Amino acid sequence: MEENIVLTMRGITKLFPGVKALQNVDFTLRKGEIHALMGENGAGKSTLIKVLTGVYAMDRGEVCLDGGEPAMIRSPQEALRRGISTVYQEINLCPNLTVAENLFIDREPRKRGLIDWKEMYRRSGELLERLEVAVEPTRQLGDCSIAIQQMIAIARAVDMRCKVLILDEPTSSLDDDEVEKLFELMRRLKEQGVGIIFVTHFLEQVYAVCDRITVLRNGELVGEFLTAELPRLQLVAKMLGKDFDDLAQIKSMKETERDSRQQAPLLEAQGLYCQGRVKPFNLCCYPGEVVGFTGLLGSGRSELVRTLYGADRPDGGTLKLRGKPVKIDTPLQAMMHGMAYLPEDRKRDGIFADLSVRENIIIALQTKKGIFHPMGRREMENFADKYIGLLQIKTAGRETSIKSLSGGNQQKVIIGRWLLTNPEFLILDEPTRGIDIGTKTEIQKLMLQLSEQGMSIAFISSEIEEMLRTCSRMIVMRDHEKVGELTGGDLSQEKIMHTIAGGGSDNEQ
């Protein structure tokens, strides 16, 4: 066994009802290295982190610290005590306290039983100076920039003598300068012998700072690689689950290449943007086509469609539907113009857990009709039964509450909800995430059928293969910006990956 190993995880398996979130995953972290943990949605990164920090109990496997005996980590507090600190994208500090307090809360220096503020400020000053974080210890945390807050969280972890530092997407809300500052801090910590696990979606950042990369996919380990030996394109391929050699064999399942662009566009966006979420973009969608939005998680693909739908109020730009300019600031306006949107986070934005399948299906049509035109009981039941049959929703009955259904069936209910409103433009954000293969295929087929009937569909998925099978055009996003649009012959996994990976590909536009 190597001597400088600080953490080994072996055969980690974690089951959730109906899903294997992690299956026999190994992970090794050495002293003084920055180790990237990569993978798309549902790959199991966050589950692995949560197992390591004691948020979840694993079903099988073992975790060893410092090459010692297997350790049991049952709670985040215990993880902290054992030297495993985590800094999340969502900063877990108190904005109403000062910087120094956030560093020292619950272990404040005391004199005669009372907190010695002077000493606390002095020690905070020293610590921040050592890590070269430029901030006054007396400052209110909420007044600091997100980057500084992030660094303070790291400083807190460092001062608590952590051996393993987990950075879970710390850079998502930072700008380039701030990211660079963070990297400098990470490199300094690395020199001090801290092992850092870095979870991120930004490829550039991985290549800028990491020594090693572990890739997960669908809860399984793909492999551990030295950054220097793994070209960018290969990394994307490994994350998205296609071996590079297989790329040539992919054949589109689309039966005919319909050139829908002959028709007038259904939707035209000009310079539409939403501050801090998606940079100005132009977009055209035609009736009868499936447009894919791709890019890694956090690239702004979901934010783009949310802006179209008015779920995030656009800050500027124009939108035309069937050639007529429209103003869409709220979801209801979008619905009235024939749009429908299946949100990414089913639990948070999709289902009404305590309502029945029937009510969950008819709610969108009901709001479209308005409060004074309630649907009759019989009418609702007919609609519910129709979509339960059409989409083959497995439920005990239409009056069963939706929370007792499986994820895939819940998703079908929400698809049914939107089909019932008879939309012309249907947005599906990750409709197939976390659901079984059978349902996935059904949903893909359904999309093709609907587009054949003339519906325009915007489709987002983390699985490129799935998108290639269904989309006639792909919009590629990177860093909250639309960076490319691929059609026809360009629609290949290789091209898409090149565009996602960026840098080096010169035919982006």
Partner 1 sequence: MKKKLRFNDTGFLLAVTIGLFVLMYAAGMIVFADAGFAKPQMFLNLFISNAGLIVISLGLTLVMITGGIDISVGSVTALVAMASAYLMEVAGSGACTALAVSLLIGLAFGLVQGYLISYLDIQPFIVTLAGLFFGRGMTAVVSTQMISIKNETFLAWANYKIYLPIGTHNKRGVFQPAYIYPTVIIALAALVVIAVALKYTKFGRRVYAIGGSQQSSLMMGLNVRRTKFQAYLLNGFLVGLGGFLFTLNSCAGFVEQAKGLEMDAISASVIGGTLLSGGVGNPVGTLFGVLIKGTISSLITTQGTLSSWWVRIALSSLLCFFIVLQSIIFSHKKKNAPH
Partner 2 sequence: MNNKGAKGSDTLRRITGHHLFLPIVFLAVVLLANVIKTPDFFEVSYSNGILYGYVVDVVNRASELVILAIGMTFVTAASGGQDISVGAVMAVSAAVCCQILSGGEVSITAFQNPLLLAVAAALLVSMLCGAFNGLLVARLNIQPMVATLILFTAGRGIAQLITRGQITYIRVEEYKLYGSYIPGCPIPTPIFFAAGTVILVMLVLKFTALGLYVESVGINSSAARIVGLNATRIKFITYVICGLLAGLAGFVASSRIYSADANNIGLNLEMDAILAVALGGNLLSGGKFSLMGSVIGAYTIQALTTTLYAMMISSDQLPVYKAIVVILIVVLQSPVFQQKFRDLRAKLRQNTAASRKEGAAS
Q: Write out the binding residues for partner 2, residues 89-118 only, by CB under 8 A.
A: none
CB 379 within 8 A of CB 372: no
* Both structure tokens of 73: 């980590």
Q: Exposed, middle or buried, 317 (CB in 10 Å: 0-12/13-18/19+)?
A: middle
Characterize the bridge pairing of strands 316-321 and 267-274.
antiparallel
Q: Which stretch binds partner 2 (CB under 8 A): 75-83, 169-177, 276-284, 362-370?
A: 362-370
Which of partner 2, partner 1, none interacts with 393 (beta carbon under 5 to 8 A by kind)? Answer: none
Report the nearest approach of partner 1 to the CB of residue 501 (Å): 26
Q: Which stretch binds partner 2 (CB under 8 A): 47-55, 159-167, 252-260, 325-333?
A: 325-333
| Rounded CA separation 415/190 (Å) | 48
Q: Which stretch binds partner 1 (CB under 8 A): 88-96, 233-241, 302-310, 410-418?
A: 88-96
Q: 87 vs 305, which CB is nearer to partner 2? A: 305
Binding flag, residue 93, partner 1 (CB under 8 A): yes
Binding flag, residue 228, partner 1 (CB under 8 A): no
Binding flag, residue 390, partner 1 (CB under 8 A): no
Which of partner 2, partner 1, none interacts with 173 (beta carbon under 5 to 8 A by kind)? Answer: partner 1
Q: Which string of DSSP letters, residue by residue, matches 334-397?
A: HHHTTEEEE-S-IIIII--TTSBHHHHHHHHHHHHH-TTSPPPHHHHHHHHHHHHHHTT---S-
| Rounded CA separation 6/65 (Å) | 6
Report the nearest approach of partner 2 to the CB of residue 268 (Å): 23
Q: 304 vs 402, which CB is nearer to partner 1? A: 304
Cβ neighbours, 10 Å, residue 77: 11
Q: 73 vs 221, which CB is nearer to partner 1? A: 73
Q: Write out the binding residues for partner 1, residues 94-153 only, by CB under 8 A.
A: 94-97, 101, 105-106, 108, 113-115, 117, 140, 142-143, 145-146
Nearest to 218, CA basis, from 46, 40, 57: 40
Which of partner 2, partner 1, none interacts with 318 (beta carbon under 5 to 8 A by kind)? Answer: none
Among 348, 489, 506, 509, binds partner 2 (CB under 8 A): 348
CB 141 within 8 A of CB 98: yes
Characterize the bridge pairing of strands 278-285 and 267-274.
antiparallel
Cβ neighbours, 10 Å, residue 496: 23
CB 40 within 8 A of CB 240: yes
Among 248, 353, 390, 396, binds partner 2 (CB under 8 A): 353
Q: Exposed, middle or buried, 58 (CB in 10 Å: 0-12/13-18/19+)?
A: buried
Report the nearest approach of partner 1 to the CB of residue 413 (Å): 30
* Both structure tokens of 445: 């087929």
Which of partner 2, partner 1, none interacts with 371 (beta carbon under 5 to 8 A by kind)? Answer: partner 2
Binding flag, residue 368, partner 2 (CB under 8 A): yes
Beta-sheet strand order (sheet of 324-326)? 278-285, 267-274, 316-321, 324-326
User: What is the 8-class DSSP label of residue 193?
Assistant: T
CB 397 within 8 A of CB 405: no
Binding flag, residue 318, partner 1 (CB under 8 A): no
CB 486 within 8 A of CB 476: yes
Q: Which string of DSSP letters, residue by residue, matches 234-253?
A: HHHHHHHT--GGGGGG----
| Rounded CA separation 68/216 (Å) | 25
Q: Which stretch binds partner 2 (CB under 8 A): 112-120, 157-165, 328-336, 446-454?
A: 328-336
Which of partner 1, partner 2, none interacts with 108 (beta carbon under 5 to 8 A by kind)? Answer: partner 1
Nearest to 398, CA basis, from 382, 411, 421, 418: 382
Binding flag, residue 72, partner 2 (CB under 8 A): no
Which of partner 2, partner 1, none interacts with 368 (beta carbon under 5 to 8 A by kind)? Answer: partner 2
Report the nearest approach of partner 2 to the CB of residue 349 (Å): 5
Among 246, 352, 390, 449, binds partner 2 (CB under 8 A): 352
Binding flag, residue 349, partner 2 (CB under 8 A): yes
Q: Write out the binding residues for partner 2, residues 402-431 only, by CB under 8 A.
A: 417
Classified as helix, coil or strand, 260 is: helix
Rg (CA), the chain: 25
* Both structure tokens of 503: 């840098």
Binding flag, residue 275, partner 1 (CB under 8 A): yes
Among 120, 197, 351, 419, binds partner 2 (CB under 8 A): 351
The separation between the first and the last C-alpha atoms of the chain, rounded to the nearest angstrom, is 50
Question: Helix axis angle, 407-420 relative to 437-452, nearest 10°?
Answer: 10
Q: 70 vs 95, which CB is nearer to partner 1? A: 95
Which of partner 1, partner 2, none interacts with 270 (beta carbon under 5 to 8 A by kind)? Answer: none
Q: Which stretch binds partner 2 (CB under 8 A): 67-75, 244-252, 359-367, 488-496?
A: 359-367
Binding site for partner 1 (CB under 8 A): 76-77, 80, 86, 88, 90-97, 101, 105-106, 108, 113-115, 117, 140, 142-143, 145-146, 156, 173, 275-276
Binding residues (CB under 8 A) for partner 2: these are 311, 330-332, 335, 341, 343, 348-355, 359, 363-364, 366-375, 417
